[in-house]
Structure 1
Amino acid sequence: MGTALPNALKDSYTAMSARMAANPEMDIATLRNMLDSLESLSAEPTDVTYESIDAGGVSAILARPAGASKDHILVYAHGGGCVTGSAASHRKLAAHVAKAAGVQAIIPDYRLAPEFPFPAQIDDLIAVHKWLRAQGYRPENTATAGDSAGGNLAITTVLKLRELGEPLPAAIIGFSPWLDMENLGKTMESNADSEALVSRDVSELMVSLYLGETPRTEPLANPLYADLAGLPPVFVSAGDAETLQDNAERFHDKARDAGVDVTLEIQSGQQHVYLFMAGKSAEADTTIAHAGRWLRDRLGLTS
């Protein structure tokens, strides 16, 4: 794990940004194929088996690290602006996190915008949680996690479960969460030169495709407007070279002020979802290890 390896992520992001700039009318299928290629950056985690399953009508991949608790499970929502990404593209990343925590992970292929705009993604994740309850997984043995838009969904799914009067999972993890649908954060400007992928224009595009006519201040889309009191413990992380850095910081502050047990980790010099470099970057592996230990504690698993 050399320190130069994270450049592979920035180089990939830079190449993708150049392609999007050269083809502003890029169709959704091409965009999805391009962003799905980020899967190749993660190392294949060892001693993990995978199974394609139907989770309450939602296709998903179930990752089982060797020795993982059969009673504890992580619902991992993939990133991609709720427009791109898939269970397959984030299979390895989710498995690295699950392995660090000693739990299983389910990675749903939730419906994507613009074909299925907000709140279809949350509806699918709610269906997965209800399916897990029907399978005998106890809420206190369950957690939600995700990166970028998936970090948003990891939070907003819990907010929706609360609204529905359903039992809440024990913990939430958001890696480089994309939360601010208004793009008002200061690091959207201050980190514009260091960020290689998520420019204001890219974020605006994803917001418009995801939300459609939904107001950008809708709390289930923009949890910076939500009442966070009573949420389970939350772990959030971001890189200090990404435009969404202060999405994580502002959420941390809001959650802390609401009395939530919240942990924030900022990694120096890191890009958006630097965890794509899992197994190849010391920074990615450090955050995954920290999140894994944090989650084990919240799930009551012994070290």
Structure 2
Amino acid sequence: MASKESDAVRRHWATNRKAAEENRQDGDQELADHRWAELTTEPADVDYLAVPGRRAQWIVPHGAAADRALLCLHGGGFVGGSQYSHRKLFAHLARAVGVRALVFDYPLAPDHPHPAQVDDAVDTYRWLLDQGIAPEHILFTGDSAGGGLTITTQLRARSVGLPLPAGAMPFSPWVDFEATGASYDENRDRDAFFHRDLVRGLAWIFLGPDGSPRDPFVNPLYGDLTGLGPIYIQVGGDEVLLDDAQQLAAGAEKAGVEVELDVFPEMQHTFQMAAGRAPEADDAIRRMGRFARRVLELETR
């Protein structure tokens, strides 16, 4: 049975769905980010450092390894979210791993349709490499739209000659921009916010007039996943995007990639945002921490 604390995520999405159905627009990105961030507690012993010249910040847990890093890609359907909405979530994760994390703002649609987001993510990855961090010491992570970006950014980076990172930890990843999964029907009455028409609408905004939902830098299942590092995927059992996670896991396995999928029963989309409050979110963070420490070879240090 889902914990009482985890219901805060359900209420968050239900409130957003009601606003969407009533065609109400918040219009204040800062306020929207604050409401999202309210789901997450402020972790102790973490510093936040602005990155001069970039719309980004370093998340630095006390005692963190300086030669390894998480590259964090926030969610928000490519139309919302920011470093501020997600900094506390990624801080919990950085603490669990014991490394620094870089979270940044990529351009948002509709003003900046695809491929602005994946290109900016590749540029940020290139910058991180230029700081002297080895690619095998960098792990990508992200939720929802950012979860899909953890894979498409790798494909785009490889196409321009950059080395691949150690691996990826997408959670509640959005990869199917045609919304074809059976879970859209099976979880229609369980998912507190998402449904097929809404997701297709977000995809239309993101892709713009010239984008294709089958572009491999949009949906990585149309790309070549061969050679990617280990992937650890988490998803809520009540999400309509459940099939996205399952399809990604199946595609990676078919390509010979080491992949692990954890489905958390009764959980909503990006339930990890309740880190520090809900036991399911804290358990998810611990599992990601174990995976990341292994992949980044921290266990033997």
TM-score range normalised by the length of the shorter chain: over 0.9
How many Å separate the matches in 2 of 1:197 and 1:52?
33
How many Å separate the matches in 2 of 1:289 and 1:231?
23
State the 1:172 CA deviation. 0.5
Q: What percentage of residue pairs aligned between the two structures are identical?
A: 39
State the 1:111 CA deviation. 0.8
The alignment partner of 1:172 has SS state of strand
Q: What amino acid does structure 2 have at the position aligned with 1:191?
A: N
State the 1:27 CA deviation. 4.6
* Counterpart in the other structure of 1:260: 257
How many Å separate the matches in 2 of 1:28 and 1:201?
20
How many Å separate the matches in 2 of 1:276 and 1:157?
23
* Counterpart in the other structure of 2:6: 6
2:214 maps to 1:214: no
- CA-atom RMSD in angstroms: 1.5
Does the 8 A contact of 1:73 with 1:106 survive in 2? Answer: yes
Does the 8 A contact of 1:144 with 1:172 survive in 2? Answer: yes
Q: What amino acid does structure 1 have at the position aligned with 2:229?
A: P
State the 1:277 CA deviation. 0.5
The alignment partner of 1:88 has SS state of helix
How many Å separate the matches in 1 of 2:133 and 2:266?
38
The alignment partner of 1:179 has SS state of coil
* Counterpart in the other structure of 2:39: 41
Any residues of structure 2 matched to 1:277-288 within 5 Å, and which?
277-288=274-285
Q: What amino acid does structure 2 have at the position aligned with 1:141?
A: H
How many Å separate the matches in 2 of 1:202 and 1:141?
37
State the 1:140 CA deviation. 0.8
TM-score of the pair, normalised by structure 1: 0.95
State the 1:32 CA deviation. 7.5
Which ranges in structure 2 are unaligned for 5 or more consecutive residues?
none
The alignment partner of 2:148 has SS state of helix
Does the 8 A contact of 2:246 with 2:261 survive in 1? Answer: yes
Does the 8 A contact of 1:58 with 1:127 survive in 2? Answer: no
How many Å separate the matches in 1 of 2:104 and 2:51?
9
How many Å separate the matches in 2 of 1:62 and 1:52?
6
How many Å separate the matches in 2 of 1:30 and 1:49?
26
Q: Show CA shifts across 1:175-221 (max 9, x none).
A: 10011000001101110100001122221221111111201111100
How many Å separate the matches in 1 of 2:100 and 2:10?
30
Does the 8 A contact of 1:32 with 1:85 survive in 2? Answer: no
